[in-house]
Amino acid sequence: MISQGQVLPAISLTQLAEDGMQTLTNDDLFAAKKVVLFAVPGAFTPTCSNAHLPEFITLADKIKAKGVDAIYCVSVNDAFVMKAWGEAHNAEHIQMLADGDASFTKALGLDKDTAGFGGVRSTRYAMIVEDQTVTGLFVEKDKEFVVSRAEAVLAQL
């Protein structure tokens, strides 16, 4: 598993933007930026939709006021689902990123097998990344939702 102080592995994530599908690299997402990234097991799932994403939406201005350039939400879903999920929650201040084949999640060592739920998914976590280096990592224990909450991350900024 990736740890604090490590540089993110070379990755690409996708995003469905107004002008079509975009493939974004580490340089696009993290170079010369301070970013909060949070990951969820699945778009439109109960905790993710009722608490995790909404809390980051509510606190986005306070998070950005701490010098954060961008807030990213990542899930092992496709870019179409992530765009629809963001729109359903009015997440205009959160960049919704798809890790469709779980390659980013696996490269971080934060994947889990949820065969009965949907196959390979992400562990619930949040991280602070500064110029591609992880400066804060908050990984939830299974079936918990404490350390990756928006309020907990805000307190670490």
- Residues noted as catalytic: 48
Pairing mode, if any, of strands 34-40 and 125-130?
A: antiparallel
Pairing mode, if any, of strands 34-40 and 70-75?
A: parallel
Q: How many CA atoms lie within 13 A of 39 on its CB side?
A: 29
Question: Cα separation of 77 and 51, whole Å?
Answer: 18
